[in-house]
């Protein structure tokens, strides 16, 4: 009893000392609900791994994941309906996280995209059953050495890596925070929270495991490298402004704060620090969006990762990273517009051109889509550069449109299979339209959307970003963007031609009949593509209403 | 009442959709559905007509705005209809004659296994033609215009298994495209000039527009009219269009569609009245075509082609009258209506003769058919008397009016135009008498057909003869009905305007001169074909005859000038395309491919190289940012 009291007196004693008092942080739980739900579900998912019997884990995890994503999405909708996207937009959690229009819109997009991506994670009908057990795209036991006896034993025992679901949830949680992060430290933590699970997810392919692991290692190494840049940039910016907070840094950039922290008297307000720090943070973010010359991981990782993970990563990472980039450029560095705009111009141009040009000679459909995603990053950058509300609106719309097309396209890739798993070499896709007209037609819809053909979401998105860029005075950028689109159209249409106008190969792949899960993913992809292409007005307005950042 | 206007179009359109999409299960009933819906349209037309008569002359125009068809800011096109006296006249003609020809086709197409489709096309035609005459703006009119062009194409080529029919359809389509281009340019000019293409605002703004622009619009409208109405220089398709089934020739290529050009010019009266130069060109086109068609009609041995030449010539009369301005508009339309009756009757008669003669069309192989086909003979004969302008019959009144109006134009122009119309009346009498004599009089010159079947001429079934009888009534009485008390003039005048002109000679003199020309024409024909036996194989004939048999070398002209010229142009363009354009395109593609291949090599799979690229990129990024500030 006495020990308890003395322990208690220790705490109270500390609190009673006025000089040492640390104010209890105020956390707006309701406003952070979307993220908290996902994180909570991820933690529960780990407990499920530990305590639920192996046989029912898959079902529990799938249910838990989908339920968490759905309720998180409901929370986002609730917040948006409550006016947090517009009138009541504010900074929560002691200035760490913004709750505003762009954040809610992007979180909603990430959550919806994650739902359909999780459907492809949970698909268990594509691979032939191993030893009577239905299997998904993930290794039986990720830790076993490829080709070893322990792997064979794991396959025989019917193990599955159900850890992918909590991993995905952690990644999603990080992605939800990333575009909402309102100080540099939160930004970095969010980056790591969503990156580390992604590295793992890349490594757990069931087929071609060595390639998968190689991709994961590369992704990890380069990701760590880029994180280092980002962290260094954060340090420099802190040195410049004496604060991690976006709002404070922005004020220092504007010159509205002149009080100099005595500890930083030598560095504060030094523009070289600001410029270098800003450039380094940009580097870190450009790595995540896959802009040239920080794109080189994309083809290797997209190809090696399990295809459902590739789809998820290509869509959700891009949304989150562009969200963070927008916030950085529009909230922290608007005063520096004349410094970063020319540089970003160059990056956008190189990205569009390089992505489109290199894709022309690709022979693997996953690599083709990887370069296509590089080119698309360039198109989105054109919208980012507009530095206007229309620019934000167009980028938000583009990201929403692009994620569903991407996940849908990678979902179709999982269906086309031969004896070695997915048949991703383009030569094997020859004549697919003759044998599986529906699959080929759906893929053609996605390709046309990528190419930006009217009546698809791709056209609306591209039109929005280019017109925003043109209004923002970036006419030359738009011309190059349109030229790159023309080059890009070549390789998209070439695949369509290949599918529909080439003779099928005798030993060509077959199209597996998926469960309703993947079918839903693909159907949602097609539906979103067409709806955003035919009647985009409502969604454009939604993105327009969500285009104001809180500061 | 105005809500009925859309139904006029909707009924046959519904028929077309049902018949064309309904499939084989409608094979047995399809023709009845098609006929019924055409009749429904006619019935609605009659109701609207009665209603219109009940109102005073300046309250007769009805409008119906269904919805905004193309709602673009600054470019508004309404799906809106306007029914005035002019449209009403056409509605009754189109749906009335149309219904009769539907009835006729039931018998004529009885043995054709694609009869349902045929009726679908006919209904489509009626709907499109009604849209054309009911539109309240030029864009919607253009829609109908293209619709009738499509229907005409489908129907000319209906027997597509015959290469000649397929070619004729294509020819009609292509020649019509030239005219359609004129209409589309006219609409574009209107839009740029007036900012709209609805009739009322356009006509209202004519006063404030330069005459040059109005002349340009007028000439483009005339080009359109030339295409659809087979006027020189776009006349070449009409003769070949006779490859289509005879009811089609009667309905589309004689009575209704080919008069669309006349409608267009009369409808655009306000534009033409303000552009005298364009009007002059219109009269010239009419006069030239009038003689052209008549001369061609004289030499043809194919009964339908002779009638086609006649159609061209009679529409020449109408165009000429329309070019006269307010003096002639009313008579152009009046002749159009009477012509609709008697020419449709003549074509149906021709079809009836062919029906009885194993589909033989060469008149030199007919002869003496009057006793074998009495009903056809009588109705055809009445049509014949009407077209040559026998006193008291329809054509007499309407044609006489045009001749008088041509003289009333005044000045040298008036004398020339009047002279041409008089001459045309004489030639008309000649070639129509020739047709009559060759077909119904003289010796039997029947020949077995290709399979060796001897012809056994017989009267056609009731479904074919009844429409012919009704049309014969129209041929006989319509003209007098219109003329007594100047009914037609009073009916149309509020829309088209009327001016008496200044005739240099009295109406009686003109009528007398016309009678003389008629007698001369009939007399020459009697001397050549009535008194002497007619050879079965056509004699070589004079230079003019040979030229007329070849349609006055229209196709040779087109071939040499347009086809050859076009081929040369195409070849040179292809050359430029291959050498220059393709060179640039292929060069670009090759360089993109080469660049791609080289850039790909950077992607060597080593994480260390990637890291170097990132490092270099970051260095450049920082350097560039700092440099920007330094600059």
**Beta-bridge partner residues of A426:** none
Q: Is B613 on the interface with A (CB under 8 A)?
A: yes
Residue A320 has pLDDT above 80, yes or no: yes
A293 and B617 within 8 Å at the Cβ level: the answer is yes
Q: For B516-539, what is the mean pLDDT?
A: 87
Residue B458 has pLDDT above 60, yes or no: yes
Q: Is B616 on the interface with A (CB under 8 A)?
A: yes
For residue B419, with 0-12 CB atoms within 10 Å meaning exposed, 13-18 middle and 19 or more buried, which class applies?
middle
* Better-scored residue on pLDDT, B543 or B476: B476
Nearest CB to B610 within list A297, A357, A362: A297
Residue A498, number of CB atoms within 10 A of its CB:
18
Nearest CB to A278 within list B600, B614, B625: B625
**Which residues from A are below 8 Å from B611, CB to CB?**
221-222, 225
B614 and A278 within 8 Å at the Cβ level: the answer is no
Residue A26 has pLDDT above 60, yes or no: yes
B269-288: pLDDT as tens digits? 999 999 999 999 999 999 99
CB distance A382 to A445 below 8 Å: no
- The percentage of residues in chain A with a pLDDT greater than 90, rounded to a whole number, is 70
Instruction: Quote the DSSP letter at residue A122.
Output: T
**Which residues from A are below 8 Å from B621, CB to CB?**
279, 282-283, 343, 347
Average pLDDT, chain A: 90
* Token reading at A531: 């709806």
State how far residue A525 is from chain B, nearest Cα, in angstroms. 30
Q: Is B609 on the interface with A (CB under 8 A)?
A: yes
Residue A3 has pLDDT above 80, yes or no: no
Residue A19 has pLDDT above 60, yes or no: no
Question: What Rg do the C-alpha atoms of chain B give, in angstroms?
Answer: 29
Residue B63 has pLDDT above 90, yes or no: no
CB distance A131 to A203 below 8 Å: no
CA distance B427 to B310: 10
CB distance B96 to B42 below 8 Å: yes
Nearest CB to B621 within list A218, A272, A279: A279
Residue B520, number of CB atoms within 10 A of its CB:
15
**Which residues from B are below 8 Å from A280, CB to CB?**
618, 622
Question: What Rg do the C-alpha atoms of chain A give, in angstroms?
Answer: 24
CA distance A245 to A264: 16
Residue A516 has pLDDT above 70, yes or no: yes
B390-401: pLDDT as tens digits? 988 999 999 999
Residue A243 has pLDDT above 70, yes or no: yes
State how far residue A159 is from chain B, nearest Cα, in angstroms. 32
Residue A20, pLDDT score:
63
Residue A479 has pLDDT above 70, yes or no: yes
Report the largest interatomic distance among the alpha carbons of chain A, rounded to a whole angstrom.
Answer: 87
Q: Of A401, A349, A406, which is closest to residue A379 (Cα–Cα)? A: A349
Residue A15 has pLDDT above 50, yes or no: no
Q: Across the A/B interface, how many CB contacts are shorter than 8 Å? A: 88
Interface of A with B (CB under 8 A): 217-218, 221-222, 225-226, 229, 271-272, 275-276, 278-280, 282-283, 287, 292-294, 296-297, 299-300, 338-340, 342-343, 346-347, 354, 357-362, 487, 490
User: What pLDDT band is residue A17 in, cutting at 50, 70 and 90?
Assistant: low
Backbone angles phi, psi at B371, to 5 degrees: -80, -25
Inter-CA distances, A454 with A40, A175, A295, A402, A467, Å: 42, 31, 28, 15, 15
Residue A315, pLDDT score:
95
* Token reading at A317: 């990472």
**Which residues from A are below 8 Å from B590, CB to CB?**
none
B589 and A490 within 8 Å at the Cβ level: the answer is yes
Residue A498 has pLDDT above 50, yes or no: yes
Residue B475 has pLDDT above 50, yes or no: yes
A151-180: pLDDT as tens digits? 999 888 888 899 999 999 999 999 999 999
Reported ipTM: 0.90
Q: How many CA atoms, within 13 angstroms, populate the side-chain half-sphere of residue A137?
A: 31
- Specify the 3-state DSSP secondary structure of B90: helix
Outline where B324-410 has alpha helix (H).
Answer: 329-356, 374-388, 394-408
User: What pLDDT band is residue B57 in, cutting at 50, 70 and 90?
Assistant: confident
Residue A6 has pLDDT above 70, yes or no: no
- The percentage of residues in chain A with a pLDDT greater than 70, rounded to a whole number, is 96
B564-614: pLDDT as tens digits? 888 899 999 999 888 888 888 888 888 888 888 888 888 888 999 999 999
Instruction: Mention every residue, 6+ apart, whose C-beta is less than 8 A from residue B110.
Output: none
A275 and B625 within 8 Å at the Cβ level: the answer is yes
Backbone angles phi, psi at B196, to 5 degrees: -160, 170
**Which residues from A are below 8 Å from B616, CB to CB?**
293
Q: Of A333, A329, A322, A326, which is closest to residue A291 (Cα–Cα)? A: A322
CA of A219: which chain B residue's CA is closest?
B607
**Which residues from A are below 8 Å from B618, CB to CB?**
229, 279-280, 283
Nearest CB to A222 within list B596, B605, B611: B611
**Which residues from B are below 8 Å from A282, CB to CB?**
621
Residue A2 has pLDDT above 70, yes or no: no
**Which residues from A are below 8 Å from B630, CB to CB?**
none
* Better-scored residue on pLDDT, A261 or A27: A27
Q: Is B603 on the interface with A (CB under 8 A)?
A: yes
B618 and A347 within 8 Å at the Cβ level: the answer is no
User: What pLDDT band is residue B497 in, cutting at 50, 70 and 90?
Assistant: confident
B592 and A297 within 8 Å at the Cβ level: the answer is no
Q: Is B519 on the interface with A (CB under 8 A)?
A: no
User: What pLDDT band is residue B522 in, cutting at 50, 70 and 90?
Assistant: very high
* Token reading at B324: 């006269």
Residue A18, pLDDT score:
54
B110-144: pLDDT as tens digits? 888 889 999 999 999 999 999 999 999 999 999 99
Residue A10, pLDDT score:
45
**Residues constituting chain B:** 631
Nearest CB to A222 within list B603, B607, B625: B607
B618 and A300 within 8 Å at the Cβ level: the answer is no
A361 and B618 within 8 Å at the Cβ level: the answer is no
B622 and A275 within 8 Å at the Cβ level: the answer is yes
B374-388: pLDDT as tens digits? 999 999 999 999 999
Nearest CB to A361 within list B600, B613, B629: B600
CA of B596: which chain A residue's CA is closest?
A358
B187-240: pLDDT as tens digits? 999 999 998 889 999 999 998 889 999 999 999 999 999 999 999 889 889 988
**Which residues from B are below 8 Å from A352, CB to CB?**
none
B614 and A226 within 8 Å at the Cβ level: the answer is yes
Q: For B338-364, what is the mean pLDDT?
A: 90
Q: What share of chain A is helix, strand, coil (3-state, %, to 5)?
A: 70, 5, 25
Q: For B518-541, what is the mean pLDDT?
A: 86
Residue A407 has pLDDT above 70, yes or no: yes
Q: Which helix (H) or strand (E) holds B65?
A: strand B62-72
pTM over 0.90: no
Q: Is B627 on the interface with A (CB under 8 A)?
A: no
């Amino acid at each position: 009893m006495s020990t308890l009291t003395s322990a208690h007196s220790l705490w109270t004693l500390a609190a009673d000392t006025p000089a040492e008092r640390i104010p209890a942080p105020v956390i707006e739980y309701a406003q952070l609900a979307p993220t908290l739900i996902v994180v909570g579900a991820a933690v529960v998912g780990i407990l499920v791994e530990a305590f639920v019997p192996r046989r029912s884990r898959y079902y529990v995890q799938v249910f838990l994941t989908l339920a968490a994503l759905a309720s998180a999405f409901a929370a986002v909708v609730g917040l948006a309906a409550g006016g947090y996207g517009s009138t009541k937009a504010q900074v929560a959690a002691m200035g760490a996280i913004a709750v505003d229009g762009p954040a809610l819109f992007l979180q909603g997009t990430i959550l919806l995209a994650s739902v359909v991506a999780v459907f492809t994670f949970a698909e268990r009908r594509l691979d032939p059953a191993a030893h009577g057990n239905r299997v998904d795209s993930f290794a039986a036991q990720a830790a076993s050495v490829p080709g070893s006896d322990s792997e064979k034993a794991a396959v025989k025992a019917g193990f599955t890596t159900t850890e992918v679901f909590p991993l995905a949830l952690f990644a999603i949680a990080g992605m939800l925070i990333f575009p909402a992060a309102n100080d540099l430290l939160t930004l970095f933590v969010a980056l790591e929270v969503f990156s580390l699970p992604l590295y793992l997810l890349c490594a757990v392919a069931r087929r071609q495991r060595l390639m998968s692991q190689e991709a994961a290692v590369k992704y990890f190494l380069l990701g760590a490298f880029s994180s280092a840049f980002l962290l260094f940039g954060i340090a420099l910016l802190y040195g410049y402004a004496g604060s991690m907070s976006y709002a404070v840094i922005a004020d220092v950039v504007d010159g509205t704060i002149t009080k100099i922290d005595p500890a930083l008297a030598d560095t504060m307000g030094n523009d070289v620090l600001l410029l270098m720090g800003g450039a380094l943070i940009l580097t870190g973010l450009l790595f995540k969006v896959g802009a040239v010359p920080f794109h080189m991981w994309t083809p290797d990782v997209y190809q090696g990762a399990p295809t459902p993970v590739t789809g998820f990563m290509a869509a959700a990472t891009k949304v989150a990273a562009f969200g963070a980039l927008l916030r950085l450029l529009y909230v922290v560095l608007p005063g520096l517009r004349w410094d970063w705009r020319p540089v970003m111009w160059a990056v956008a141009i190189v990205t569009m051109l390089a992505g489109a040009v290199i894709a022309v000679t690709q022979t693997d459909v996953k690599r083709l889509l990887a370069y296509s995603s590089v080119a698309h990053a360039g198109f989105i950058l054109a919208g980012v550069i507009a530095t206007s509300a229309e620019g934000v609106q167009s980028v938000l719309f583009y990201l929403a449109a692009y994620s569903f097309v991407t996940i849908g396209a990678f979902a179709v890739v999982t269906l086309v299979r031969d004896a070695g798993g997915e048949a991703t070499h383009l030569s094997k896709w020859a004549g697919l339209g003759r044998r599986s007209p529906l699959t080929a037609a759906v893929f053609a819809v996605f390709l046309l959307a990528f190419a930006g053909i009217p009546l698809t979401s791709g056209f609306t998105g591209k039109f929005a970003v280019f017109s925003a860029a043109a209004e923002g005075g970036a006419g030359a950028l738009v011309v190059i963007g349109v030229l790159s689109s023309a080059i890009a159209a070549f390789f998209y249409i070439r695949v369509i031609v290949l599918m529909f106008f080439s003779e099928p190969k005798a030993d060509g792949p077959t199209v597996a009949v998926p469960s309703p899960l993947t079918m839903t993913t693909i159907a949602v992809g097609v539906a979103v593509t067409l709806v955003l292409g035919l009647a985009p007005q409502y969604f454009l307005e939604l993105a327009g209403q969500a285009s104001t950042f809180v500061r | 009442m105005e809500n009925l206007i859309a139904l006029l179009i909707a009924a046959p359109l519904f028929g077309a959709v049902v018949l064309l999409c309904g499939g084989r299960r409608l094979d047995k009933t399809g023709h009845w559905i098609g006929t019924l819906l055409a009749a429904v349209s006619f019935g609605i037309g009659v109701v609207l007509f009665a209603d219109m008569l009940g109102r005073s002359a300046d309250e007769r125009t009805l409008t119906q705005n269904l919805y905004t068809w193309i709602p673009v800011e600054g470019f508004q096109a309404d799906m809106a209809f306007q029914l005035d006296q002019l449209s009403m006249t056409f509605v009754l003609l189109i749906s009335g004659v149309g219904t009769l020809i539907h009835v006729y086709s039931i018998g004529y197409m009885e043995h054709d296994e694609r009869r349902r489709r045929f009726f679908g096309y006919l209904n489509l035609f009626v709907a499109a033609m009604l849209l054309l005459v009911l539109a309240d703006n030029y864009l919607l009119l253009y829609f109908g215009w293209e619709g009738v062009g499509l229907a005409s194409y489908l129907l000319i080529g209906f027997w597509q298994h015959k290469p000649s029919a397929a070619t004729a359809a294509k020819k009609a389509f292509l020649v019509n495209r030239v005219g359609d281009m004129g209409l589309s340019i006219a609409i574009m000019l209107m839009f740029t000039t007036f900012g709209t293409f609805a009739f009322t605002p356009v006509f209202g703004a004519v006063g404030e527009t330069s005459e040059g622009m109005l002349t340009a619009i007028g000439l483009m409208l005339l080009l359109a009219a030339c295409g659809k109405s087979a006027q020189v220089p776009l006349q070449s398709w009409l003769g070949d269009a006779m490859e289509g089934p005879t009811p089609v020739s009667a309905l589309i290529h004689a009575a209704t569609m080919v008069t669309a050009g006349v409608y267009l010019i009369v409808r655009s009266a306000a534009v033409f009245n303000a552009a005298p130069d364009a009007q002059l060109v219109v009269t010239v086109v009419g006069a030239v075509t009038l003689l052209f068609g008549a001369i061609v009609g004289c030499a043809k041995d194919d009964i339908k082609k002779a009638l086609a030449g006649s159609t061209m010539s009679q529409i020449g009369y109408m165009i000429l009258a329309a070019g006269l301005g307010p003096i002639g508009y009313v008579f152009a339309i009046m002749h159009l209506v009477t012509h609709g009756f008697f020419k449709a009757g003549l074509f149906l008669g021709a079809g009836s003769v062919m029906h009885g003669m194993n589909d033989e069309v060469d008149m030199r192989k007919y002869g003496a058919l009057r006793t074998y086909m009495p009903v056809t003979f009588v109705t055809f004969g009445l049509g014949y008397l009407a077209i040559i302008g026998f006193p008291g019959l329809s054509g007499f009144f309407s044609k006489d009016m045009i001749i008088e109006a041509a003289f009333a134009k005044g000045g040298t122009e008036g004398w020339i135009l009047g002279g041409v119309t008089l001459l045309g009346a004489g030639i008309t009498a000649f070639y129509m008498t020739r047709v009559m004599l060759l077909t119904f009089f003289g010796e039997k010159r029947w020949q077995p057909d290709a399979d060796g079947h001897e012809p056994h001429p017989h009267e056609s079934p009731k479904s074919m003869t009844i429409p012919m009888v009704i049309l014969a009534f129209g041929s006989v009485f319509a003209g007098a009905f219109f003329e007594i008390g100047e009914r037609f003039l009073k009916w149309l005048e509020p829309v088209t305007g009327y001016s008496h002109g200044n005739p240099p000679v009295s109406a009686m003199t003109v009528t007398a001169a016309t009678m003389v020309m008629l007698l001369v024409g009939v007399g020459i024909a009697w001397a050549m074909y009535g008194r002497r036996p007619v050879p079965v194989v056509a004699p070589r004939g004079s230079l003019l005859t040979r030229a007329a048999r070849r349609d006055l070398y229209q196709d040779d002209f087109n071939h040499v000038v347009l086809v050859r010229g076009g081929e040369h142009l195409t070849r040179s363009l292809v050359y430029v395309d291959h050498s220059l354009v393709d060179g640039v395109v292929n060069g670009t593609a090759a360089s993109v491919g080469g660049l791609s291949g080289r850039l790909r090599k950077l992607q060597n799979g080593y994480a260390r190289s990637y890291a170097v690229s990132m490092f270099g990129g970051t260095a450049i990024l920082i350097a560039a940012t700092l440099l920007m500030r330094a600059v």
